[in-house]
Amino acid sequence: MNNQPHIMQQASEAMPQARYGIDAPTVLRNLVVLGIGCIAVGIAAQFVAYAQRLGWLAVAGGICAVSGAWFLMSAGVMLWGSLIGKMRLRDRVLALVELRGDEMVLDVGCGHGLMVIGAARRLGSGRAVGIDIWSNVDQASNSAGATMANVRAGGVEDRVELRTADMRELPFPDGMFDVILSSWAIHNLNAPEERERALREIVRVLKPGGRVAIVDIQHTAQYLSVLQAAGLRDVRRFGRSFLFVIPTHIVTAAK
């Protein structure tokens, strides 16, 4: 593994505590801006309505202010999901794959390392590999350096390797991994055929008898269909979880 080419950006110093990033930062920012803007407009409308004795404006301003409060509440819930909820969901997923401690684990679309670090903490002689293209669109400040700093902060640098790689073309031989994880990543591929390509790559590098667990907010019915068509067994989709705030499904299967 170590003699294969890979890209790893070193952080200048390890962070004292792992930081797994804010998910959907653009959406969160927009909710905050809308919330503050609506509340400000609503309050201004109330003053004007009082001064001009315009009842309809008072009603409209009240609706606007309430809408702003709803936007801000939604932003707060999303922030809770990024900082707390997704950690709880991660633990649930890792419990489902029942790691022994000697496995080779792959995290597809590892981001800031939530899953790959959680898996590595459960490994003894095993090893965890995380791949990503380090996009900042769906996770703020996403980079190999930030993830490596989290790996160090988690004390698992001896069990984790990071690579820059596309999930549609995994740079690994067939049947290399005992367990493959992916969280909130595959849905970022917009075209159904591209998602299928990524799923078939996951199947390809999974060992016979290996296990896969995919966490996502969209397209999980397609994941079920593709994994079943690829010959995996015990393909299962768990009911919606709201630990990440956005309704999330977990798909598991074995090869």
Asked whether residue 83 carries a pLDDT value surpassing 80, the answer given is no
pLDDT of residue 18: 66
What is the spatial distance between Cα 240 and Cα 30, in angstroms, rounded to a whole number? Answer: 26
Which pTM value belongs to this model?
0.74
pLDDT tens-digit series, residues 221-238: 999 999 999 999 999 999
Asked whether residue 108 carries a pLDDT value surpassing 80, the answer given is yes
pLDDT of residue 199: 98
Question: Radius of gyration of the chain from Cα atoms?
Answer: 22
Second-level CATH architecture of 98-254: 3-Layer(aba) Sandwich (3.40)
Asked whether residue 73 carries a pLDDT value surpassing 90, the answer given is no
Which residue, among 70, 86, 69, has the nearest Cα to 24 in the 3D structure? 86
Beta-carbon count within 10 A of 47 CB:
12
